[in-house]
Structure 1
Amino acid sequence: MYSTLIVGRMQPQWSTEVAELFGAFDDTEMPHRMGTRRRELFHYQGLYFHLQDFDGEYGGDRIAQARTDPRFIRISADLKPFIRPYDPATWRSPTDALATRFYHWADRS
């Protein structure tokens, strides 16, 4: 399994709207198409964290293909009023907001 963490900016009062948008998106086959096994959303002091777990290695090719799907395009547009880039000067896509993992531990028992 591979995990990604996208960091952005979001006002906490928008968490219900953002959760509803992702809930509707996740009720389609889109997560499966992208290889997403789990999604969790967090907010903390104006920051937004989007944790996703993928099957196997990061599904960059699968996600790239899904980006042309009208549902992916729609959720991206629907989220814009709520989620702002962490660094607007460098933002082009969610990959520009991926946190870098520098440590991982897992129970092997």
Structure 2
Amino acid sequence: MHSTLIVARMRPESAADVAGLFAEFDRTDMPHRMGTARRELFSYRGLYFHLQDFESEDGGERIEAAKTEPAFVGISTDLKAHIEAYDPDTWRSPADAMAQRFYHWSAR
């Protein structure tokens, strides 16, 4: 399994709207096509954390392939009203918002 963690800024009052957008998106076939096994959204003091687990190591490649799909483009556009880059000066793509794992432990 492969995980990514996206860090951004979100107004706390947007949490319900963002959750609703993802609930709608996750009812489509897009999560399966991207290899998403689990998605969790967190907020803390104006920060947004998007944890996504993938069925295999090719999750990043599958997301890249999905970027032009209408459902992916749609949710990306809708999220712009609620979420902004953590560092707008350096953000060029979602990869620029991904936290780098520096430790991992698992009982499995």
* TM norm structure 1: 0.96
What is the alpha-carbon distance in structure 1 between the residues aligned to residue 46 and residue 20 of structure 2?
19
Instruction: Name the Cα RMSD after superposition.
Output: 0.8
Contact 1:3 1:58 in 2 (8 A): no
TM-aligned CA deviation for residue 60 of structure 1? 2.1
What is the alpha-carbon distance in structure 2 between the residues aligned to residue 48 and residue 60 of structure 1?
20
Task: Tell me whether 1:17 sits opposite 2:23 in the alignment.
Answer: no
Question: CA-to-partner distance for each residue in 1:16-73, whole Å, 9 max, x for gaps?
Answer: 0000000000000000000000000000000000000001214222111111100100
What is the alpha-carbon distance in structure 1 between the residues aligned to residue 63 and residue 74 of structure 2?
15
TM-aligned CA deviation for residue 11 of structure 1? 1.1
Structure 1 unpaired stretches of 5+: none
Structure 2 unpaired stretches of 5+: none
Pairs within 5 Å for 1:22-101:
22-101=22-101
* TM norm structure 2: 0.97
What is the alpha-carbon distance in structure 1 between the residues aligned to residue 2 and residue 11 of structure 2?
28
**Percent identity among equivalent residues?**
65
AA of the residue aligned to 1:15: A
Moved over 3 A (4+): none
AA of the residue aligned to 2:48: Y
What is the alpha-carbon distance in structure 2 between the residues aligned to residue 58 and residue 13 of structure 1?
34
What is the alpha-carbon distance in structure 1 between the residues aligned to residue 7 and residue 67 of structure 2?
19
